[in-house]
Amino acid sequence: MTVVGKEEWMKQLRTASRVVRFSPARLPPEKLEEILEAGCQTASPWNLQPWRFIVAQAESTRAQVLRSCPEPGPASDAPALVIGLGDPRAWKQAPLRLRELMQSGSLTPGNEATHLGRIQQQWSVGDTARVFAIAQTHAALQQILLTALACDICGWWIHEFDADGIARTLHIPENLVVVGVLALGYCADRAALPTASLARTVFAEAYGLPWRKNGA
């Protein structure tokens, strides 16, 4: 993993969404694997890990995926697309996941029944499991993006896509949800975007109370 200083890291975060063109250079396999491993290590309640990823690097596969994306933007030239899939049924794997936590020493044996009861109560009703799977998968995709930035690789979110079209193209099982499509590659050109406003989006202590810069 590349060691990045604080100033360089903050610069990477500020410019991460400013890609306007990717380089056609392919990503080194070892770097891509390192990035994907980091995504799979995203913290998840009870280690349920309700995510799966498809990595599209072949030109033909990328072209098929992009046909389901009305406005892919810079992603059209990206050498890799990561499609994040959420599994609303992941909570059903709780017994195995809890056993893995106990074997690793992360969970004290003896409370399995309590944990299983809480998991079932929280995620077996209504759309809760689907929402959980989507939120957790998006978090894992974001961790992939942040790890890529640490490796000097940029990312671009494809904001609009036909989930059903992608599912048909990539033979995705019906029980999985297409959560997001993230393009990865080396940046060839960037754009200047407006600076985010803390005053408009961040509040102090309660909603509506203004955030004051430097604690003033």
For residue 123, give Cα distances in angstroms to 92, 96, 97, 177. Answer: 9, 16, 15, 16
| 78 vs 144: CA distance, rounded Å | 15
* CB-count burial class (<10 Å; 0-12, 13-18, 19+) for 123: buried
Q: Give Cβ neighbours of residue 47 (< 8 Å, ≥ 6 apart).
A: 97, 98, 100, 101, 106
| 213 vs 216: CA distance, rounded Å | 6
| CATH code for position 85 | 3.40.109.10
**Structural domains counted in the chain:** 1
Residues of the chain below pLDDT 50: none
| 97 vs 85: CA distance, rounded Å | 19
- What's residue 14's pLDDT? 66
Range of the domain at 48: 6-215
Domain membership of residue 61 (yes or no) is: yes
Token representation of residue 99: 């056993």
| 162 vs 19: CA distance, rounded Å | 23
Domain membership of residue 1 (yes or no) is: no
Domain membership of residue 205 (yes or no) is: yes
Domain membership of residue 20 (yes or no) is: yes
Domain membership of residue 128 (yes or no) is: yes
- What's residue 195's pLDDT? 72
- What's residue 216's pLDDT? 60
Domain membership of residue 41 (yes or no) is: yes
Domain membership of residue 161 (yes or no) is: yes
Name the residue with tokens 């072209």.
Answer: 63
